[in-house]
């Protein structure tokens, strides 16, 4: 099951939908912008207006009183905040009836500098109980909290796709992305004749060009390179060089305008959070041996994560669908280290199909 939040629909649109024979249904959400400045925040899922206590040096806590949700419903918390490269806010839960104390995340920061956006799922075992949610730490850097109360929706997922748990602003969130912990790198895996291989662990600063080294055994077919970027100005792209030649530009996707990551600063709008881009490479773009994949810095305060490649085996045929290619087909290897000074690359090691 995935959980899909929907927004409140204006009266005129609701009427139009009902006249058309459809039922207009809205789940609940609320957005809290900080500082609240005495504003009253009302939502059916809240027992009271959230309150924030902050000392003059910016340290404090935000308290949110949540009502219980129905069985199988889920609650998702989205934080928009400024990171300073150090420890970020921590998130805790205290149940009213059981008195249970749950640490949801000791640190939602990712070690970057600048605007970020993290979405965390409230554990199902505590969402069915009324309780207090606490956000603690440097709260002068917390800009926004969005809470989504979501009902489950059944979706069929193809075998070569990771199962999503949450859809927000047109973006799909996986279970491993909503734990509040550092993102886990998925294992390398074959989908028929296509190898999906991670090139990077953790987060790398793209203020300077970053080169990844990808060893390949034999010829390869088509390739799709993908990566996520944080801090990249809207409308800007990242140039990618493959073996010393310009392969193209990665233009990250734009989330829907209902996504809470959009932040207005004066007349300029920026986005807080990671956005994924991709680049297609024709067969033969990767050579036998070591390949250089270089991301050209578009400026300062830009970060790279989740770099990965989908590489098609050159000797794949239709009869091998669902199975890795045979030993005499092209067999890409796991990526090598980043250049000296970077610590976020995967460790090298050949993949055995």
Query: If you average pLDDT over residues 27-34, what whole number do you get?
Result: 88
CATH C-level class of 189-332? mainly beta
pLDDT-derived band at 178 (thresholds 50, 70, 90) equals confident
Q: Using the predicted structure, report yes or no on whether residue 318 has a pLDDT greater than 50.
A: no
pLDDT score at 345:
45
Backbone angles phi, psi at 153, to 5 degrees: -140, 130
Instruction: Name which residue leads in pLDDT, 270 or 329.
Output: 270
The closest of 28, 34, 259 to 145, measured between CA atoms, is 34
Residues in CB range of 1: below 8 A, 6 or more apart: 72, 152, 153, 154, 155
Q: Which two tokens stand for residue 93?
A: 């839960």
pLDDT-derived band at 185 (thresholds 50, 70, 90) equals confident
Q: Using the predicted structure, report yes or no on whether residue 257 has a pLDDT greater than 70.
A: yes
Is 267 in a helix, a strand, or coil? Answer: coil
Distances (CA, A) of 99 to 91, 95, 125, 129: 16, 5, 13, 10
Query: If you average pLDDT over residues 7-19, what whole number do you get?
Result: 38
Lowest mean pLDDT among 49-53, 195-199, 234-238, 329-333: 329-333
pLDDT score at 337:
40
pLDDT-derived band at 340 (thresholds 50, 70, 90) equals very low
pLDDT-derived band at 27 (thresholds 50, 70, 90) equals low
- Gyration radius from the chain CA atoms: 23
Distance between CA atoms of 313 and 39, rounded to whole angstroms? Answer: 58
Q: Using the predicted structure, report yes or no on whether residue 127 has a pLDDT greater than 60.
A: yes
Query: If you average pLDDT over residues 320-348, what whole number do you get?
Result: 42
296 Ramachandran zone, left/alpha/beta (phi>0; psi -120 to 50) = beta
Distance between CA atoms of 107 and 146, rounded to whole angstroms? Answer: 18
pLDDT digits (tens, 9 = 90+) for 268-278: 999 999 999 99
Considering the chain, tell me which residue range(s) the CATH 2.60.120.1200 domain(s) occupy.
189-332
Q: Which two tokens stand for residue 196?
A: 């999906």
Q: Token match 């949540």: residue?
A: 66
pLDDT digits (tens, 9 = 90+) for 133-173: 999 999 999 999 999 998 888 888 888 877 777 877 777 77
Mean of the per-residue pLDDT values of the chain: 82
pLDDT score at 95:
93
pLDDT digits (tens, 9 = 90+) for 32-81: 999 888 889 989 999 999 999 999 999 999 999 999 998 888 999 999 99
pLDDT score at 38:
81
Domain 2-177 has CATH 2.60.120: yes
Q: Which two tokens stand for residue 53?
A: 């206590």
Q: Largest Cα–Cα distance in the chain?
A: 69
Query: If you average pLDDT over residues 92-107, what whole number do you get?
Result: 93
Q: Using the predicted structure, report yes or no on whether residue 132 has a pLDDT greater than 80.
A: yes
Lowest mean pLDDT among 20-29, 79-88, 103-112, 192-201: 20-29
Residues constituting the chain: 353
Query: If you average pLDDT over residues 228-236, what whole number do you get?
Result: 95
Distances (CA, A) of 304 to 150, 153, 272, 286: 31, 32, 14, 21
């Amino acid at each position: 099951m995935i959980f899909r939040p929907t927004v409140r629909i204006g009266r005129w649109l609701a009427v139009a939908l009902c006249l058309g024979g459809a039922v207009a249904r809205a789940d609940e959400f609320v957005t809290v912008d900080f500082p609240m400045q005495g504003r009253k925040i009302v939502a059916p899922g809240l027992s009271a207006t959230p309150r924030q206590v902050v000392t003059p040096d910016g340290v404090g806590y935000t308290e949110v009183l949540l009502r219980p949700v129905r069985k199988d419903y889920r609650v998702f918390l989205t934080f928009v905040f400024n990171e300073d490269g150090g420890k970020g806010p921590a998130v805790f839960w205290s149940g009213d009836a059981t008195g249970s104390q749950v640490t949801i995340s000791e640190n939602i920061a990712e070690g970057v500098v600048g605007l970020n956006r993290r979405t965390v799922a409230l554990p199902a075992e505590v969402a069915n109980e009324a309780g207090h949610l606490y956000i603690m730490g440097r709260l002068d850097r917390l800009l926004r909290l969005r809470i989504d109360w979501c009902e489950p929706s059944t979706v069929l997922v193809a075998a070569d796709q990771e199962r999503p748990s949450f859809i927000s602003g047109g973006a799909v969130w996986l279970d491993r992305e909503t734990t509040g912990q550092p993102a886990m790198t998925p294992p390398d895996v074959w989908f028929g004749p296509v190898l999906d291989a991670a090139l990077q662990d953790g987060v790398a600063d793209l203020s300077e060009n970053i080169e990844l080294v990808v060893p390949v055994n034999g010829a390869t077919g088509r390739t799709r390179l993908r990566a996520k970027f944080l801090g990249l100005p809207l409308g800007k792209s990242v140039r990618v060089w493959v073996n010393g030649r310009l392969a193209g530009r990665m233009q990250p996707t734009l989330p829907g305008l209902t996504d809470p990551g959009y932040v207005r600063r004066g007349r300029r709008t920026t986005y807080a959070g990671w956005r994924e881009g991709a680049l297609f490479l024709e067969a033969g773009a990767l050579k036998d041996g070591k390949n250089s994949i270089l991301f050209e810095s578009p400026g300062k305060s830009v970060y790279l994560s989740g770099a990965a490649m989908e590489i098609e085996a050159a000797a794949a045929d239709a009869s091998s669908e669902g199975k890795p290619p045979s030993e005499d087909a092209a067999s890409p290897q796991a990526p090598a280290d980043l250049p000296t000074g970077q610590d976020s690359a995967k460790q090298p090691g050949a993949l055995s199909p």
